[in-house]
Each structure stands twice: as C-alpha cells, then as structure tokens.
Amino acid sequence: MSSEGKFKPKMLGIICNWCCYGGADLCGVSRFQYPTYIRLIRVMCSGRVDLKHILLAFANGVDGMFVGGCHINDCHYNPEGNYDAMSMVSLCKKLLEHIGINPKRLRLEWVSAGEGIRFANIMNEFSREIEHLGPLGKSEGLDADELKKRIESMAKLIPYIKLAKMKKLALHNIDEDYTKLYTSDEIDSLISEAPSYWIDPDRCQACMTCARRCPVEAIISAKNQVHVIDQDKCIRCGTCLSACPPKFGAVTRIVGEPLPPPLPEGKRTIVRKGKEKAGESPSPAG
Ligand code: SF4
Ligand code: SF4
C-alpha cells in the first residue's frame, strides 16, 4: 500500500513527568524513531489520569490512547500513583468494552527515564496495532453518532462508577493481577443497576434538607417550591434519599425504569392546604 493512502491514527499519550516523560525525552535525544502522529501530554503522575480524561479523548476522536508511568515501586509519590493508574486503566478497559469499543485502543506501560529505546518500541508497536484496528468506531461497527452517544452516556456515569468502585480504585497490592481486577459481568451489572433519584412532587415539603446535603448542588431548590433533581448534575450518591426526613419520604431510588418528567417550573409552588384544612397533606399547585 502506498504511504499516501495509509491510515494515520490520532493517538494521545498521557505520561508522567518523572519517568515516562524522561524516557520519551531520551528517545528524542537518541533519535529513536516513532510515528509523529502520537501527541504527548505530560502530567506529574500517571495516577493523575482519570477515567474522564480517557473518555474525553475518545469522544474527541482519538483512535488510540496511551498512559505511561514509572515502573512499579519507582513512583515519586507516596502512596504510589502508578497503582491508581493500573486500577483505573483496567476499569476503563472494561467500560470501553461495555460500550463496544475495543479495549486494545487503551494501553498502559511503565517506562523509566533511562529507557528511551523501550519508549520508542512501545510507541511503534502500539501505533501499528492501532493502524491495524483502523479509525475508532470502524472496527467496532459503530457510526460517529452512536459512538458519541455511548461515550457521553458512559461519561455521565463516571462519578457513580468511581463511588461504587472506590475500594478497588484505591487498591495498592503488588500481588494483585490488576488486569483481572474487574470482570465484564461485574461492570455489566454495575451499569444496569445504576440508580436514579427522583423527588415526588406530591410529597416534597421544600424543607431544603436534601439540597443542603447534595455534594454537587444538583437539586434545584427554592423556598416553598417543590425540589427537583437536575439529572445531568446528579452523581447518584443517594445522599438526598437518606437526608429526606422519613415523615416526608419524598425521594425515590429508581433502577431500570424511566424517570417521571420533572414538574414544569411554573407549577412547583407548594399550596399548603394543611394550614387551611387540618389533616390534609400539602401539594404542588397545578
Ligand atoms: S443522588 Fe446525590 S448527587 Fe444526586 S441529587 Fe441526590 S444528593 Fe445530589
Ligand atoms: S428533603 Fe425531602 S421534603 Fe425536604 S426538600 Fe428535599 S425532597 Fe423535599
């Protein structure tokens, strides 16, 4: 095949300052060759790389993504960030698999500052693999719109996934096989059981307790107004469910069903019938 028609992937590497970046630098100084279409971003530690960064890169059309850090037990920070990177990448591969993206498009490697040749070899091998896979979505049989939709809906679940997998994400154990830390079944049920929280307008008393406790200000709150959860901001932590006083019981956890539509803005004022007729519960106007 002529080099003119050859697919040139978009590839991104996020690499740590102390080791992998040093390896990349030595690779350049030593004039070892690797494809120029690989772009590198330097971060202080591979443990700084988040699920969100990787999904964002794929959402922006990256065909292959590389995370590089110091060899295990060589991390410059305490606790060692490369364990966090291992767990995060392992989880991310399963998330990619869940939405139909080939997990081979994401790769994690350790490179020391003295391993310029190793850096070049990894880049060459990985770029060949991505060239072989082709553009993101093509080998997966997904068109651009479907791909974007799947990545965006997974990105919305990231805070929930990180909360649910907090312990595994923080695991630092040299004896653990991180490639087997998460199973496909585990991720499938985690996603299918993702809860949503909804405030019943007929029960909400606008006491504001939930809005004060919500860690991300996802509850639209105003005095004497039925409270409404902004589903785009909600991280599904469940705090509002436990915060709502039992005598009101206005927050519901919903799994696997569509949420009732939110009450329109103009119909959220609570008419406190209870003040006029004892024994009746208040309800929103409308
Ligand atoms: S589930 Fe958590 S993030 Fe969502 S509205 Fe309730 S308190 Fe806020
Ligand atoms: S805590 Fe319950 S009753 Fe109070 S504002 Fe929130 S949902 Fe409404």
Q: What is the CATH number of the domain that holds 198?
A: 3.30.70.20
Residue ranges in the chain modelled with pLDDT below 70: 1-4, 273-286
With a 6 A CB cut-off, is 244 part of the ligand 2 pocket? yes
Same domain, 230 and 258: yes
Same domain, 92 and 202: no
Locate 142 and state its tokens.
């997904």
Q: Looking at this protein, which amino acid is placed at residue 252? A: T
- Pocket around ligand 1: residues whose beta carbon is below 6 Å from it? 197, 214, 216, 218-219, 229, 234-240
Evaluate whether residue 2 is within a structural domain: no
Q: What is the pLDDT of residue 3?
A: 52
Q: How many CB atoms lie under 10 A from the CB of residue 27?
A: 22
Q: What is the pLDDT of residue 271?
A: 80
| SS3 (DSSP) at 51 | helix
Same domain, 159 and 217: no
**CA pair distance 251, 235, nearest whole angstrom:** 15
Domain-ending residue, one of 173, 189, 205: 189
Structural domain of 25: 11-189
With a 6 A CB cut-off, is 248 part of the ligand 2 pocket? yes
In this structure, the residue with its CA closest to atom 8 of ligand 2 is 204
Same domain, 22 and 127: yes
Evaluate whether residue 5 is within a structural domain: no
Locate 224 and state its tokens.
């004497």
Distance 209 CA to ligand 2 centre (A): 6
Task: Look at the chain and report how many structural domains it folds into.
Answer: 2
Same domain, 69 and 88: yes
Among 47, 37, 40, 49, residue whose Cα is nearest residue 21: 40
Distances (CA, A) of 109 to 69, 87, 193: 7, 13, 32
Q: What is the pLDDT of residue 78?
A: 82
Same domain, 33 and 143: yes
Q: Which of 228, 235, 251 is the pocket-test mutation for ligand 1 (most atoms within 8 Å of CB)?
A: 235
Evaluate whether residue 4 is within a structural domain: no
Same domain, 225 and 106: no
Ligand 2 atom with the smallest distance to the CA of 209 is 1
Evaluate whether residue 32 is within a structural domain: yes
With a 6 A CB cut-off, is 229 part of the ligand 2 pocket? no
Domain-ending residue, one of 164, 189, 214: 189
Same domain, 243 and 157: no
- 269 Cβ partners below 8 Å, 6+ apart? 224, 225, 226, 284, 285
Q: What is the pLDDT of residue 139?
A: 87
Q: What is the pLDDT of residue 273?
A: 66
